[in-house]
Every structure is written in C-alpha cells, then in structure tokens.
Amino acid sequence: MADQARPRLQDLMGSSAQAAEGGAPPARKANRRKRLVPYGLAAPSVLWLLVFFLIPTLYMAFISLGSGFLGNIKFGTNFSNYVEVLKTYDKQFIRSVIYALIVTFLALCIAYPLAYWIALYGGRRKNVFILLILLPFFVSFVIRTVQWQFILADTGIIFGPLKNLGLLSKNFHVLSTPVAVIAGITYNFLPFTVLPLYVALERLDPRLLEAGRDLYANKVTTFLKVVWPLSLPGVFAAFLLTFVPAVGDFVNSQILGGPKTTMIGQIIQTLFQTNFDYPHGAALSFILMAFLLIGASLYAKVLGTEAVTSAAAR
Amino acid sequence: MTDHPNIDPAWLRGMTMRRMSRRDLFKAGGVGASALSLGAILAACSSSDSSSPAASGSSGGVDFTAEPAGTLDFANWPLYIDKEKVNGEVVRPSLLQFTDQTGIEVNYREVIQGNNTFFGKIQPQLAAGQSTGWDLIVITNGETLTRLMTLDYLVELPTDMRPNFDKYADVSVKDPAYDPGNKFTMAWQSGLTGIAWDPKQVAELRPDNPTITSMNDLFDPAFAGKVGMFGDNADMPNLTLLGMGIDPTTSTPEDWNAAAEKLIAQRDDGIVRQYYEQNYINAISNGDVAVTMGWSGDIFQTNLSGDSEGLQFAVPDEGAIIWTDNMMIPKGAAHPVDAMMYMDYVYDPDVAGQMAQWINYITPVPDSKAFVLGLFDDTGDEYYKNVAESPLVYPTPADTAKLSTYRVLTEDEQLEWNGIFQPIYQS
C-alpha cells in the first residue's frame, strides 16, 4: 500500500510544480487544488501532533531549565538540572536499561516459537490464537500486575503450599525482587513482541520451505537459512516495540518490586506527581527521551532502516 | 443499622485512600510519565501569575454574611463519610440531616485519591483565579496543604461562624502548628502513623519477645526481609525521626541525615522487604511482611471487618505521628457560605458521632463518644462499643501525649528533605 502511494504522491507533487511554472490558468487552478490535497489530508494529524506533542514538549524543555515547584516555577537556564538528575539517578537509569534488555530477550525467546507456531501451523484458527494471546490484555495493565502480586505472594496460591510442604524455605520470596519485576514487564509487553513476529512469519511463503526441503535441507537448516533471515525484520521491530516501553515502565517495579528495583519511569513519576519538582522531572524525561531516540536511530542505522520500518509498517 | 459495604473498607481505603500516591494504581494505567495532562502543563504555564493573586482582601473577597446559596460541592476521599443502605439505595445520613436542617443540597463526590494528585488537578484553575468547581475539599496537613496556603489558594475562614467548632473541637485540632489559628482549615478526621504488626508472624520470628512496642523493632534483624516501610516523604522520615528521640517538628538537616543513615543501613542490611504506599495493608494481610509502618484506621477496620487474623497496631514507645485531614475552601468557590455552615455542622457531637462510628479514624470531637455509646445502648451491637472504646478512634490523653506531627517545611527545606529521603525508598 505505502509503496504504491509514494510514487503517486511524488508524481502529483512533480506535476503540480511543473504546472506552477507555466501551465494554462484553468489547469493551474485544478493543479493547485490537487497540490493542496496531501496537505489537507495531513493537516489533522499535524495539528494533533503540534498541539498535543510538539508544544507540550517544547514547554517541558523550557521547564527542564527552570527551578521551583509546580505553581511557582521560575524559568531560567539551569542546565545543571540535567547533571543533577543524571548524577542522582544514574543507578536507576542503568538498571532500567538492563532490565529492559533482559525483558526484550526473554520476550523474544517466548514470542518467537509462539508466533512461529501460530503462523505456520495455526491453520484456519490463526486469528483465534492471536485473539487468545491478546485476550488477557483487554484487562487493565495495572489490574493484571496487581494480580501477579496476588499470585506471587509469599504465602499465596503458589508459594504457600510449597512452603507448607517444606519444599521452599520460609523466607523464600519472589515479590520485591528483580525477578518479579522482570517477569512482570515481560508478561505485560509480550503482545508487543508477538505481533510483529507473527506478521513477519505469517507472510512467509510456504513454497520457500518446500524449496528448502527439495534441496535436501533438514528442518534446522531450513529454519536457519530460510525462516530466520526472512523473519529478521519482525525481530528487529519486536525488539524496538518491546524495549522502548520497557525502559520507561513504572508500574511493574512499583507493584512487584522491592527496595532496590526502582526504575527510571518511577522516579520521573515521583518527581512530577509527588514532589511537583517539574524542572528535575522534565530534565530526566528529556534524558530518557534522548537516550531512546539516539539508541533507536543507531539501531536502525546499523540494521538498516528499511528492515525495521518495513516490518513495523506491516 | 449501619451497613458496611461488601468490599472490605480497609482494603478499598488502603487501595485508594491514603496520602501520597494513589497515583501508582490509578494514574498508572499504562500512561507514560511524559504523558502528563495538558492541564498540568498549562498549570505550570500560568504559574508565574500565582505570586500576585487576583483576589483582594484577606478572605479572597468572600462575603460570609451573605445568605447560603442552597448548594454545596464537596470533594472528599473515598469511604470517608457515614453511609447506609436504605431500600437498596446508598445514602449518607449525616449529609441528609444537613440538607434537612439547612435546605442546602450537598453534591458529595469521592474524587480525592491523593493530596498531590488532587492538587495537580485543581492547581490550573486556582492559578488562573477561576473556580475549581468545589466549595469544600479535604487535604492532609503536610506538603500539599502548605503549598495551598503559601500560594494563597485558600479562603480565609471567618471566626464568628463556627460555634460548634469553638465549643466541641478537640484541643489537638484547634490552632494547629500547620495552620495557626485555624485561619484556613478545620479538621475532618485524624489518624496515626505507627506500627502495624501480625502477632502470629512476630511470635514465630522473635519468640523471646513477641510484642512490638518500639520503633527499633522495625530495625530488628530478627525481622529481616519482613519489614515494611512507607515509601513517602512524610510518614517514613517523620516517624523515623520520632523513633530516634528527635522531635520532627523542630528537627534540623543534621537530624535528617542521621535518620537517612539509619534508614539506608536498614535497607542495605536487607531488613526492609519493601517500601509501600497504600498497599502495605495487603502485604501484611498476605503475610508478606510481619511488621510495617501503618495507619491506625486501616488496622482497626481490618480487624472489625472480621477477616483479620488479629492484626495489631502499636503506638511505639517513642511516639507516633498524628496527621489530620482538613476541610478547606479553595479560592473561587461558588458557595463558600454553605461550605462554612457545613464545616461547623460536622462539629455537632451527634453528627460527629454518626460519622466516627463509620469512618473509624480519630474524630476531632471527643464528645461524640456519648452518641456512639448511645447507639450501643439502642441496638446492643458490640460494634459500637468497640468503636467507642477504641483508643484509635477516641485516644486517651496518655496516648495523645505521645503524638507528634509532621515537620512543616519551607520550599527550600522541602527540596533538601526530599533529596535526602527520596533516594532511600526509590533506590
């Protein structure tokens, strides 16, 4: 779809440019209208982004250089805000990135076989299986996380009986540990991993697999030489779609975490909503945003933008 | 007959009510931290005007001699007023009675789920000099209240319209340190921050001394991994200071650092299981912690609701923190006279008793005890007797002598204070 639209749009722009140079008046009029069409179509989303993204973002950029609390914020040029937050919260920052990397890796390990099986062996029920994967996610994010708190409770439905049987020590617990946080985030972001992988695998031409077999490749070789390379764009997209939100997650560590599992999203949230320290909160947000933007573009550069965006666009 | 809702009120209150941060559960729904509401952004936007409030006169230009308007828009916390079920419909008896007596219709909404979050919601209107839509709001003493007062967002209350308050209010809520002379606020209910503990687990973990009496118990290695602390900038620091024999209200930055050192050691030695917000009540009910900082009303209600296994609340030997939720009129309120009438109305001992027997926090009207005992005489229901005799609803003078309040901080101090304590629970 996008591939077809693009040249047409270019033709349109090109011809209207020509027309503007020296076409006949009526044609020029029609062309001008034509030329405006793409802008008109883009206008709502541009306006939307302008009002709800660009202006607030610029405003936050100003605030990040200010001082004081909500209700009494003074504008300034306190670039030191950035240094301060980075110094104070470096641990949480690094931790968030490490957690997110582990989460993304785990999610890929879980999601790939899942997506593979549904795409290749799902048959007529493919959509049902995808729906089943998505079904739990119709429930609020927070509620699902709180349920994990219930399931993983020290004397809850899993660990209670095991402890009573003496299979686990009394002090064993999963809640309040990094394990719980990472497991929680992995669970919560799994659909973001499954869907792009599924899309990539689903488009796989089965004839290619047959061809592999015809050429005496065994199943492993077929997978490594045919399936895996063709699914790579999906893997790249899944990586980004999982990693980026996982770094900024602030729910799981709060609900499932313990004394030393705080993530950067939680800090930003506290700075804004509890401390009303908008300048420092904004500074930290921008650092996170910059990190993710630079990281994502480097990632895209190394792996090729085409691969990532084309998989994401499907 | 009081109808207690099917949901355990302590649980729901634990989930929704207390101070710092319903934010996590209710604001969290997948919204990124950068996705602040436009309102909040605009709020900050108009902040520069706030130093020169448009309002004139000490009470914000409010004429309290005017006739009541017949309407009152009242924002309060969930589960914080008496309720009954009449013919399948939930009613609030004390509000009905107020309407009967005065003809003022009360639009009561349980919209406050956190001091800070609520402040964040109404701040834009207050900064712009517009009405927040509320005539009466309830805010805990502490950072948010101080901010509301210093930004001049509250209406000064007339002193000649509160006969009940003058006559019946407990000394502890008259002329409080956070609002000298009750210039802007009148207490709604108070509560204690102390130690909640599970006798079964404590006996198991420390058989030689199976009772919790001291703040030091929260630092006892015997409970390693089974201790809950509040993860906030109010209760955790203040109660810790108190436990060190320091009066929080007059504490110095050196004291804060000393307290921080103690708290960091407690954390790094693995004694702290988790820093909780309102969800500590679940943690202790689930057996995740044996000892935790807690709020008095929650424990009292959990026990009364019957599903407790005898949770205890201790006022530590070193003392406990008493906090007070206060009624106040935000500037721009459309019906301030009605609000003022209501604020005094709740200090009528019978009204206060009717509310206290349901709310189970500390009532600001000690004389209301007679009403609650009267309910016991009328109905024979032990529940009322328990409430009337509970030191957590009607504390004795000996109890109150051991109580301290939060440190009142200036903006600069607050920044320093937060910088010392926040990294402890968000490490």
| ipTM score | 0.71
Residue B400 contacts A, CB cutoff 8 Å = no
How many angstroms away from the CA of A195 is the closest CA of chain B?
19
User: What percent of chain A is modeled with pLDDT above 70?
Assistant: 88
- Structure-token match 């209301």, residue found: B368
Burial class (CB in 10 A: 0-12, 13-18, 19+), A174: middle
- Structure-token match 């050192």, residue found: B261
Contact A262 B426 (CB under 8 A): yes
Q: What is the pLDDT of residue A153?
A: 86
Q: What is the pLDDT of residue B132?
A: 95
Determine the residue among A188, A276, A285, A287 to mutate to test chain B binding: the one whose Cβ has the most chain B Cβ atoms within 10 Å: A276
Contact B28 A68 (CB under 8 A): no
A contact residues 175-204, partner B, Cβ 8 Å cutoff: 175-176
Report the relative pairing of strands B291-295 and B105-109 from DSSP bridges. unpaired
Residues in CB range of B254: below 8 A, 6 or more apart: none
pTM for the structure as a whole: 0.76
Q: What is the pLDDT of residue A26?
A: 65
- Output the CA torsion sign for A98, A259, A248, B421: negative
Residue A274 contacts B, CB cutoff 8 Å = yes
Burial class (CB in 10 A: 0-12, 13-18, 19+), B89: exposed
- The DSSP symbol for B97 reads H
B contact residues 109-168, partner A, Cβ 8 Å cutoff: 116-117, 119-120, 123, 127, 147, 151
How many angstroms away from the CA of B377 is the closest CA of chain A?
41
- Output the CA torsion sign for B48, A79, A69, A244: positive
Contact B25 A175 (CB under 8 A): no
Number of C-beta neighbours around residue B174 at 10 A: 14
pLDDT digits (tens, 9 = 90+) for A173-227: 899 899 999 999 999 999 999 999 999 999 888 898 889 889 988 889 999 988 9
How many angstroms away from the CA of B196 is the closest CA of chain A?
18
Contact A71 B273 (CB under 8 A): no
Contact A70 B23 (CB under 8 A): no
Determine the residue among B11, B12, B38, B47 to mutate to test chain A binding: the one whose Cβ has the most chain A Cβ atoms within 10 Å: B47
Distance CA B218, CA B293 (A): 8
- The DSSP symbol for B158 reads P
Residue B46 contacts A, CB cutoff 8 Å = no
Pick from B24, B34, B127: CB nearest A71: B127
Nearest residue of chain A to residue B424 (CA atoms):
A259
Residue B282 contacts A, CB cutoff 8 Å = yes
Distance CA B204, CA B190 (A): 33
Q: Are A253 and A266 in contact (CB under 8 A)?
A: yes
Distance CA A173, CA A155 (A): 9
B contact residues 182-211, partner A, Cβ 8 Å cutoff: none
Q: Tens digit of pLDDT per residue, chain B (427 long)?
A: 344 334 444 444 433 333 333 223 333 333 333 333 444 444 444 444 433 333 334 455 788 999 999 999 999 998 889 988 888 888 899 999 999 999 999 999 999 988 988 998 999 999 999 999 999 999 999 889 998 999 999 999 999 999 999 999 999 899 998 999 999 999 999 999 999 999 999 999 999 999 999 999 999 999 999 999 999 899 999 999 999 999 999 999 999 999 999 999 999 999 999 998 878 888 888 888 999 999 988 887 777 665 556 888 888 999 999 999 999 999 999 999 999 999 999 999 999 999 998 888 999 999 999 999 999 999 998 889 988 998 888 988 887 888 999 998 888 898 899 889 998 998 8
Contact B33 A274 (CB under 8 A): no
Nearest residue of chain A to residue B34 (CA atoms):
A285
pLDDT exceeds cutoff 50 at A270: yes
Residue B54 contacts A, CB cutoff 8 Å = no
Residue B398 contacts A, CB cutoff 8 Å = no
Sort out which chain A residues have CB atoms less than 8 A from B415's CB and list them: 277
pLDDT exceeds cutoff 60 at A21: no
Q: What is the pLDDT of residue B9?
A: 44
Residue A310 contacts B, CB cutoff 8 Å = no
Contact B27 A153 (CB under 8 A): no
Residue A252 contacts B, CB cutoff 8 Å = no
How many angstroms away from the CA of A244 is the closest CA of chain B?
11
User: What percent of chain A is modeled with pLDDT above 90?
Assistant: 48
Residue A105 contacts B, CB cutoff 8 Å = no
- Give whole-number Cα distances, B163 to A7, A270, B131, B243, in Å: 80, 41, 28, 38
Residues in CB range of B305: below 8 A, 6 or more apart: B4, B8, B9, B10
What are phi and psi for residue B372, nearest 5 degrees?
A: -65, -40
Pick from B40, B45, B267: CB nearest A259: B267
Nearest residue of chain B to residue A150 (CA atoms):
B286
B225: left (phi over 0), alpha (psi -120 to 50) or beta: left
